[in-house]
Structure 1
């Protein structure tokens, strides 16, 4: 999915040690001695609202010409980064020692978004699917179509870059792998009642799509500052839920857009699935690790213990 290559708080071990939890209070959390730098995975959008409402605890870095949060985190140029969970699996397979310390959302955002005439994924046999050109896209198309009993070998794939919305609106493709909370919402705003085949309805566990990551060496060196930054982001999540209108204004300004109607629609879509306390659920992540191998996104099963920090 194209944003796969693209989209925290102190944690306490939950009962039985099966997941990590973060605590928050009505008081403002203590800010780090100096702001913690954090790199976004994509253009500012409502998924990032808790970060933008975290106050002066963070120094936010927007992406350049492409998603670069992983590179910035792994090289130590920033201390935290926003990263798609699938990019974490790929990075660790390649030997990059980054670890996730929290989740921004609690469910997958990935979907195969199709023209209204496509009633289910198996209907894409003989049809055209637009992919970004990144290796993760075909893996997800195959996973969703195959789980629905379709013949993936008969799906025609064309590379369209990151133009999912325009290609669907102009009917140049029958479907695209994209994010239902972003492209899906934008298409509805433009009047296309597309069908969304969400990956968790086709064999995927309810994994947290968007993670907060850091380099292990950074965590070891700056643990108290990372914890303070995570607490501030958790407070930012509370503010986002309590004051969504404020969140819309902040995100619209950061994204340099006047389309606050679209920003609000995207925020409304993601509000119900923000991860409470930025929690990481160990059991779900074990299922996710199996899923990554099953769809061929990585060759070896990711180590949940090594990939996630459950008590930073």
Structure 2
């Protein structure tokens, strides 16, 4: 709200000036960033980016992809695998930076499950998203198990409660979110992180824009990404402030959980938001191999390496 008041005041002052007064430079106008999910510690650098960005939280469901592709907002936060799925469906969005620079996907299992192949003959709860079966199959197969012998049941987004009540033996989740929440609730769960079972070190969370917005708003996008990168430094230097901001945005009093989830993700934020093409080529191979998409993603088309790049 404070940022909005400041912006409106600046606009009012600009409107009262004479004809010779310069207009607000386009690069100084805030860029709207659509979040992929309810505010959580992964978004801390965006909330700490200052007046360079406006944040749009999801409505009844994640709608950032639609808002970005239609040009209604300039930037969106998206899981990299959802980027592959969206592009395979014909949506021409482009990733321009990385937020979380490492994989977050994992199979989180009951303490009695010592390794992924132990899930043969057991029940795994899946959300209904296409990525869940793909990652389940990839992790179990890599451990020498037979995924066809794993019973899958759709549980929506109730992974934490289903594991706590022992109604399922494992769930594909993000280890930094649901995995941390389960530990906070006292479950000594085993985590089988996808990076330990054949996945390359791809960036889990990326910033996307439409190709038209990229062409038209390159300078503003660069400024916004620079501010978010500074937000990473701020979150690392002042984690208590990051917890306070995220807890308020998420409307939660459970600051202990927010802090635990923040501590889990802080080391994983991408340095300078950079995209590494070599790693992304490996990611494209991986997503095709596990059947997440039918055709291998075209890295050159799916990513722009001119705003934030590692080479």
Q: TM-score, normalised by structure 1?
A: 0.89
Deviations 1:233-256 (A, max 9, x none): 011111111111100000000000
Q: SS in structure 1 opposite 2:217?
A: helix
**Alpha-carbon distance in 2 for matches of 1:54, 1:33:** 13
Deviations 1:166-225 (A, max 9, x none): 000000000000000000000000000100000011010010000011001001011111
Aligned residues: 283
Q: Among residues 162, 171, 180, which one is paired with 2:175 in the alignment?
A: 180
Tell me the equivalent position of 1:103.
98
Q: Is the 8 A contact 1:31 1:56 kept in 2?
A: no
**Alpha-carbon distance in 2 for matches of 1:203, 1:173:** 24
**Alpha-carbon distance in 2 for matches of 1:298, 1:170:** 33
Tell me the equivalent position of 1:47.
42
**Alpha-carbon distance in 2 for matches of 1:38, 1:31:** 16
**Alpha-carbon distance in 2 for matches of 1:32, 1:175:** 47
> Cα gap change, 1:117/1:31 in structure 2, threshold over 3 Å: closer, same or farther?
farther
Tell me the equivalent position of 1:159.
154
Deviations 1:105-150 (A, max 9, x none): 1110000000000000000000000001122211110000000000
Tell me the equivalent position of 2:228.
233
Q: Among residues 83, 92, 97, which one is paired with 2:78 in the alignment?
A: 83
**Alpha-carbon distance in 1 for matches of 2:100, 2:131:** 20
Q: Whose helix fraction is larger, Structure 1's or Structure 2's? A: 2
Q: Among residues 122, 128, 135, which one is paired with 1:133 in the alignment?
A: 128
Q: Which has the higher contact order (CA 8 A, sep 6+)?
A: 1
**Alpha-carbon distance in 1 for matches of 2:305, 2:272:** 12
Q: Among residues 251, 258, 263, which one is paired with 1:263 in the alignment?
A: 258
Tell me the equivalent position of 1:275.
270
Q: Any stretches of 5+ residues in structure 2 without a counterpart?
A: 1-24
Cα RMSD over matched residues? Answer: 1.1
Tell me the equivalent position of 2:293.
298
**Alpha-carbon distance in 1 for matches of 2:196, 2:229:** 29
2:195 pairs with 1:215: no
Q: SS in structure 2 opposite 1:103?
A: strand
Q: Is the 8 A contact 1:31 1:232 kept in 2?
A: no
Deviations 1:248-286 (A, max 9, x none): 000000000010000000000001111110111111000
Q: SS in structure 2 opposite 1:64?
A: coil
Runs of 4+ in 1 over 3 A off after TM superposition: none
**Alpha-carbon distance in 2 for matches of 1:118, 1:139:** 20
2:187 pairs with 1:197: no
Q: SS in structure 1 opposite 2:288?
A: helix
Tell me the equivalent position of 1:14.
none
How far off its partner does 1:94 sit? 1.3
How far off its partner does 1:31 sit? 9.6
Q: TM-score, normalised by structure 2?
A: 0.90
Tell me the equivalent position of 2:138.
143
Q: SS in structure 2 opposite 1:181?
A: helix
**Alpha-carbon distance in 1 for matches of 2:264, 2:104:** 10
**Alpha-carbon distance in 1 for matches of 2:206, 2:26:** 21
Q: Which has the larger radius of gyration?
A: 2
